[in-house]
Amino acid sequence: MLYKIIPKNDLKLFVEGLLNDYKVVGPKKAGKHHVFGDISNYEDIDLNYNMTMLPPKKYFLPQRETLFTYSLGNIQEVRETTKVDTPVIIFGLHSCDIKGIEMLDYVFTNKYIDNYYTERRKKNIIIGIDCEPSDTCFCKSMDADQVDRGFDIFLVNLGDRFLARINTSMGDYLLNIYTKIPYYRYLTSVDDPHKDIAAYKEKIQEHSEKFVLDVETAELADLMDLSYESRVWEDTAKACFGCGGCSFVCPTCYCFNVMDDIELTMTQGHRDRQWDSCLLTDFAKVAGGHNFRKDRATRLKLRYYHKQKGFVEMYGRPACVGCGRCIIFCPAKINKVEVLKMIVGEVKV
């Protein structure tokens, strides 16, 4: 890891330089909420945002995409659509969203490599920034309040300056090209070489102390097994609409449906995939009409088990980064932390 200090006034110069040569997306205001969208000038970016509605996973796993097109006539041909022409700089990601992308990496770049995902992952450049915890954040409980990988540059606000944590050669290149900061100026301010180190340590400590929402996770995977027949699932399902909204706003949910769209001439077609959710009624329906999880409580329980137990057994950590989107945007006002606390509490009572 390399470190550099960026005077706050230089950040605009840096972003404007990036905009000249790259496509840049970042957090911007959209009505009552924030979204990740295309940035055309520095003023478009709102780095003081709390949480975007949709996570940045949409730049790696689009909501709907065409996998390939095909011809079924005299000449049969399949044409894949994985090419990504230009790199995209995703600017202003919080640590929990960077952790979310890391979770997707586990799924799409390991045993079974997804070329559509990995092509975008290789081309996209990630510049993160620190944040202020809100009353719906519990990323500290999920070990996602800090990151040490998965980004090219990560900016920490030290008041009148940013500490830039540089994790890749691309990140170092961008800072050297688009700022006036000398190459040798690592983690040292002009006035006091120890000033920035002390300020960074203080910022990390202050950030950790600001979380008000937490959940005990040490034994959660085991406790989930002991609560398989809990009434918590039935009681929570009575409030749940089964809309799948929590899956769609989740930075680590990756389930998708695959479908073919064939022209009426039966000579041309394309295969698409789009986001899906285990909470939707037809998710587990198979040929013949049988549904393995036809009741809402079972589907709800499956989602919690996959995130807090199945993913832990497969990858060594829960598939949750504590961003709080599922709490903020749930139309039924279901609080995931409260559900988990009920599970933990009834076993330990």
Q: Which residues contact 324 (CB under 8 A, 6 or more apart)?
A: 51, 134, 136, 137, 138, 139, 213
Q: Are residues 320 and 142 in contact, defined by beta-carbon separation less than 8 angstroms?
A: yes
- Tell me: pLDDT of 304 over 80: yes
Sheet holding 153-157, edge to edge: 2-7, 161-166, 153-157, 125-129, 88-93, 23-30, 33-38
Q: Do 41 and 183 sit in the same domain of this protein?
A: yes
- Interval 26-68: pLDDT, tens: 999 998 899 999 999 999 999 999 999 999 999 999 999 999 9
Q: Do 12 and 106 sit in the same domain of this protein?
A: yes
In-domain check, residue 215: no
The helix (H) or strand (E) run that includes residue 189 is none
Q: Are residues 227 and 346 in contact, defined by beta-carbon separation less than 8 angstroms?
A: yes
Q: What is the DSSP letter of 44?
A: G
Q: For residue 100, give the nearest of 150, 64, 65 by alpha carbon.
A: 150
Average pLDDT of span 8-25: 93
Show which of 188, 209, 230 is a domain's final residue. Answer: 209
Tell me the two tokens of residue 253: 């949910």
Q: Do 272 and 198 sit in the same domain of this protein?
A: no
Q: Which residues contact 338 (CB under 8 A, 6 or more apart)?
A: none
Give dist(CA 298, CA 102) in Å, integer.
Answer: 28
What is the band of 265 on the pLDDT scale with cuts at 50, 70, 90? confident
Q: Do 47 and 173 sit in the same domain of this protein?
A: yes
The CA–CA distances, whole Å, from 295 to 233, 242, 307 equal 11, 10, 19
Q: Do 205 and 228 sit in the same domain of this protein?
A: no
Amino acid at 214: D
Q: Which residues contact 99 (CB under 8 A, 6 or more apart)?
A: 139, 142, 143, 144, 147, 150, 251, 321
Helices 169-178 and 10-21 cross at an angle (nearest 10°) of: 110
Strands 153-157 and 125-129: parallel
What is the band of 184 on the pLDDT scale with cuts at 50, 70, 90? very low
Q: Do 330 and 194 sit in the same domain of this protein?
A: no
Show which of 154, 176, 209 is a domain's final residue. Answer: 209
- Tell me: pLDDT of 182 over 80: no
Number of domains in the chain: 2
Helices 296-305 and 231-239 cross at an angle (nearest 10°) of: 110
Q: Do 185 and 231 sit in the same domain of this protein?
A: no
- Interval 157-181: pLDDT, tens: 998 889 999 999 999 999 989 987 6
Q: Do 182 and 255 sit in the same domain of this protein?
A: no
Look up the pTM and report it.
0.90
**Better-predicted residue by pLDDT, 73 or 228:** 228
Give dist(CA 17, CA 178) in Å, integer.
Answer: 5
Q: Which residues contact 4 (CB under 8 A, 6 or more apart)?
A: 163, 164, 166, 175, 181, 185, 186, 187
- Interval 192-230: pLDDT, tens: 657 888 888 999 999 899 998 888 887 888 888 888 888
Give dist(CA 87, CA 91) in Å, integer.
Answer: 13
- Tell me: pLDDT of 185 over 70: no
Q: What is the DSSP letter of 193?
A: T
Q: Do 183 and 235 sit in the same domain of this protein?
A: no
Show which of 156, 174, 209 is a domain's final residue. Answer: 209
pLDDT of residue 241: 94
Q: Do 81 and 205 sit in the same domain of this protein?
A: yes
What is the band of 346 on the pLDDT scale with cuts at 50, 70, 90? low
Give dist(CA 100, CA 325) in Å, integer.
Answer: 12
- Tell me: pLDDT of 349 over 50: no
Q: What is the DSSP letter of 309?
A: I
Q: For residue 196, give the nearest of 150, 172, 165 by alpha carbon.
A: 165
Q: What is the DSSP letter of 42?
A: G
Amino acid at 243: C
User: What percent of the chain is predicted at pLDDT more than 70?
Assistant: 94
Q: Do 37 and 174 sit in the same domain of this protein?
A: yes
Q: Which domain does 170 fall in, by range?
A: 2-209
> How many CB atoms sit inside 10 A of residue 343's CB?
21
Q: Do 265 and 137 sit in the same domain of this protein?
A: no
Average pLDDT of span 282-295: 89
In-domain check, residue 214: no
